[in-house]
Amino acid sequence: MKYCTRCGSEYQEGVEECADCPGNPRLVSAEEMRSRGLPLPHELDKRVFVRAGTAEDPLTVEAFVELLEDADIPVFVRAGRSGVVDKLTTGNLLPWWEILVPEEHQARAARLLEQERVREDATYDEAAQAAEEEEQENEAPAPVPAPPPPPAV
């Protein structure tokens, strides 16, 4: 059997990637799961994974997972049950993902994710500002383009 390090799904040998997770992570062996501190599906109920945060898009999921893996926190992603409530109130099914970590790492993981979110917002503001400046530059009169070269004979 092979396993997805993100969602913990079990796959038959021969399957290489998880079909459910953003980014289609490569599947690993049971030994690899164990060495990363991740539970196998049948062990899940013995370890308590709790929510450290949520993400609304696959890129954020990737960023959060990398961040936590860098901090040596076993991390697990579960597609959100997006919503009976959303469906009823807006008719929209908004995708989101739960970032799950072992209970003992929850406080640290939540803090890391919060920092990352703040950093991302700052990056976004900078990008917006840069785009605005660029727009102003583009408003300056454009240089007259050179005439096309005469056709070769």
Residue 4 interacting with Zn ion (CB under 5 A): yes
106-138 and 58-70 are packed helices; what angle lies between their axes, rounded to 10 degrees?
130
Per-residue binder mask for Zn ion (CB under 5 A), 9-48, x = binder: x--------x-xx---------------------------
Residue 63 interacting with Zn ion (CB under 5 A): no
Closest distance of CB 19 from Zn ion, Å = 8
> How many angstroms separate the CA atoms of 101 and 20, rounded?
19
Closest distance of CB 27 from Zn ion, Å = 8
For residue 88, what is the enclosing H or E element?
A: helix 84-89
**115 within 8 A of 102, measured Cβ to Cβ:** no
How many CA atoms does the CB half-sphere of 80 hold within 13 Å?
Answer: 20
Closest distance of CB 22 from Zn ion, Å = 9
DSSP 103-127: GGGHHHHHHHHHHHHHHHHHHHHHH
Size of the site for Zn ion (CB under 5 A): 7
Residue 2 interacting with Zn ion (CB under 5 A): no
Query: In the complex, which residues of this chain contact Zn ion (CB under 5 A)?
Result: 4, 6-7, 9, 18, 20-21
